[in-house]
Structure 1
Amino acid sequence: MRMVSARLENFVKELASGELVPYLGPGALTGSVDTATQEPIPADSDSLILAMNNGRPMSPRLMWEFSRAAMDVELKRGRGAVHRFLEATYDTRSWTRSPLHDWLQSIRPPYVIDINRDLQLQDSYADAPHTLVRGIARTGGTDYRFRIHAYDGETYREVAQDEVDPSLPVLFKPMGSPRPDATYIASDADFVDYLTELMGGFGIPSFVKRYRTGKRYLFLGLRFTRDTERMVMSDMIYGAGSPAGWALIPEPTEKERRFCATKNVEILEADIGDLLAVAGVSDPMRELIPGGHEIGC
C-alpha cells in the first residue's frame, strides 16, 4: 500500500505540472447528483441507456453499449431524439460537481481528454482562456472530424487549426458536449464515421498531434471492457511515451489487463478516491468513488 501511495503522490504532482495527461472516463463523474432529486448523473453506458429509455432496460443486445441503444433510438425516432436526450441531460438539468472535477479545477492541467459529454470540465475552466476541441460525425463540408473553439474567459469563438494559441490549456472532448453549441458522438453510425476518420488522422488537430508526442496519460474512471472506448483511446494516445501511462482500476479483468499491456499502459489497483486522498481532498463522497465501475462489466 505504501508503494501505491507513493505512485499516487507522483501522479498528483505530474498532473499539476502537465507531465501527465488526465484521461477521464465515466467514473470521473461519480459523486455528481441532480441538485433537485439527488439522482446520480448518467455517465456510464448502462445509466445512459436507462435514462434515455425512461428508466426501463432495453433488450440485452442493446444494453451492451450505449452506442447500440442510441442507434436503435435513432432508427426509430431520428438522430435528433438522441441529441435532445443528451442536451436535456447535460445542459438543461442542474448537477452538483464531482469531487474529481473540483480537484482538477484547483490544478487546471494544461491538457485534458474527457470522453464524457457533460459540461463539468468546461465549467472548471470557465474563468480562464482555453481551447476546446470536440469531435463531430456525419458532417458535410469538411474533411475533418473535429471543431475547435477559442474561449477568451467569457465567450467561445470557432477558430481554425492555425489560429490556436499554443500557450492556452486544451480541453479535448471527443464525444462532444452541449456548449457552445451541441455536438455529439453517440450512435453506432456516429462512431463508424468518427473512428474511421480518427484512424485516418482527420480526427485530431495538427497542434494536438504535435503536442501529444511523448506524452503519458493517467486514465481515471475508465474501464477497458468495451471496444468503443478501447478504439477511441488507441487513437487519442497515438505517439505516447514509454510507458504510455497508467490506469487506476481497482479490480481489473483479464481482458483489461491484456489490452492495457498491448498499449504499454500499467494498471494500478487503486481508484479515484485514493488519488484524491493523496491529493489532500477531504470529501464525504470520496468513499463512494469506485474508479469507473460499470454495471455488467
Structure 2
Amino acid sequence: MNTIARHLLITRDSHAETRLDLLKGALVADAIIPYLGPGLLRLGCAKSPLPHTPEAVAAALNERAPAPSKIRTNMWSVAQFIEQRRHRRTLQAWMAEIFAAPAVPTVLHTWLATLPLSLIVDSWYDGAMRAALIATGRRDVVEIQGVTRATEISDIWTKAYDLSGIELDRVPPVETVLYVPHGSIRPAANFLVSDSDYVEVLTDIDIQTPIPDQVKQRRSNRGFFFVGCRFDDQMLRTYARQIMKRSDGPHCALIDGSVLTRNERRFLAECAVTVIDMPIDKAADRLAGSP
C-alpha cells in the first residue's frame, strides 16, 4: 500500500519490498549512494554499546558534566556548554571515551563494503563503515572526514585518510570515497559536535564550500538512499539537504513512517525523498541476503 501525505510518498508492504529490490540493484550497479545514520547501530542487537542517537550522546556527556536542564537533551548545545567551561580538549577527550568501543559492522555495512560504490556517506562517529571496508582488505578507498576548526591553524574543512589511518595530503583516484561529514572516532578522533563547530560550516555550506570536490563530482549523476537516519533536528536536515544538493536523484529513506515528525515529513517531501516503511532488520536481510 502506498500513501501520500502532504506530497510525501510512503511505500509499505509489497510496494516497499519492490522498491527495496530496485534499490539493491541500484547499489550493486553503483547508481545510488548509501547515506548511513546512527540508527544502523541497532541492527541485529537489542542494545548497541555505542550511542545511536544525538540524545544518547548528550546523556553520556551529561554524566561527565551536567548541563542546564533546558539544553540537556541537545547534543550540540551540551557539547558547546562543555567546550566553553571545560575547554575543547576536555570535550574531545570525552567524545573519544564515549565512542572508544570498537564498532562491530552490521550485515549491511559488511555487504556495502563489498560493492564498487563510488561514494558512501556515513553521518555518525562510530567508524563501523570504515571497519567493514578494512575487513575486506580493499586498498582502493579513501576516507574524507569533516574536522573542527577549533583545533586547526590552516583554513581547511576536511582531512583525508587511507584505511591504514595515514593522513593524505591529497585524495588520489580511488574507486570508493567514504565521506564522514561530522568526523569519526577513527583514525584521529575528529569530531564536529559543538554549536561552535558548525558556525562556519553552516555559514558556507549553502555555497557548498565545506563539501569536498570528490563528493560533488560523485553525487552529480546519482541519488541517495538514507538508512538509519532521522531528520528531527535542523542540523541533521541542513546537512542532508546540502549533501544532496545538485545530485541527480531519485532519493529514498528507510524509516518508520509512524514516527516521523511534522518537520521530517516536510523535509522529506520538499527533497522528494520516498519513504520505505519497513523494519530495518527485515530490510537489511533483503538487501544483503542472497538473491
Q: TM-score range by the shorter chain?
A: 0.7 to 0.9
Q: Does 1:7 align with 2:14?
A: no
Map of 1:23-102 to 2, 5 A cutoff? 23-31=35-43, 40-54=49-63, 59-90=68-99, 92-102=100-110
Q: Determine the C-alpha separation between the residues in 2 that align with 1:220 and 1:26.
A: 9
Distance in 2 between the 1:43 and 1:277 partners? Answer: 20
Out of 241, 256, 270, the position equivalent to 2:264 is 256
| Separation of aligned partners in 2, 1:159 and 1:222 | 31
Give the letter aligned to residue 210 of structure 2.
Answer: G
- Counterpart for residue 252 of structure 2: 246
- In structure 1, stretches of 5+ residues that fail to align are 283-297
Q: How does 1:1-297 map to 2 (within 5 A)?
A: 1-31=13-43, 40-54=49-63, 59-90=68-99, 92-107=100-115, 109-126=117-134, 127-129=137-139, 130-138=141-149, 140-151=152-163, 154-160=164-170, 163-165=171-173, 167-243=174-250, 245-250=251-256, 251=258, 252-279=260-287, 281=289
Q: SS at the partner of 1:179?
A: coil
Q: Matches of 1:30 and 1:83 in 2, distance apart?
A: 25
Using the size of structure 1 for normalisation, the TM-score is: 0.82
1:261 match: secondary structure: helix
C-alpha displacement at 1:85, in angstroms?
1.6
Give the whole-Å Cα distance in 2 for the aligned partners of 1:79 and 1:260: 35
Call closer, same or farther: CA 1:113–1:280 in 2, change over 3 Å.
closer
Contact preservation (8 Å) 2:103, 2:128: no
Structure 1 CA distance, aligned partners of 2:219 and 2:114?
Answer: 23
Q: 1:27-67: per-residue Cα shift (whole Å, max 9, x none)?
A: 01114779xxx763112011111222228985442234211
Q: Read off the aligned partner of 1:122 and give its amino acid letter.
A: R
Distance of aligned partners of 1:119 and 1:62 in 2 relative to their CA distance in 1, 3 Å threshold: same
Instruction: Using the TM superposition, give the Cα deviation of residue 114 of structure 1 relative to its aligned residue in structure 2, in angstroms.
Output: 0.8
C-alpha separation between the residues in 2 aligned to 1:65 and 1:32? 27
* CA displacement at 1:222 relative to structure 2: 0.9
Q: Report if the CA contact (8 A) 1:150-1:159 is conserved.
A: no
Matched pairs, number: 272
After superposition, the C-alpha distances for 1:159-178 in whole angstroms (9 at most, x for unaligned) are 22xx521x321000011113
Partner of 2:4: none
Rate the CA distance shift 1:274–1:176 in 2: closer, same or farther, 3 A.
same
Identical aligned residues as a percent = 24
The 1-side partners of 2:72 and 2:108 are apart by 27
**How much has 1:268 moved relative to structure 2?**
2.1
What is the CA RMSD across the aligned residues, in angstroms? 2.5
User: TM-score, normalization: structure 2?
Assistant: 0.84
SS at match of 2:63: coil
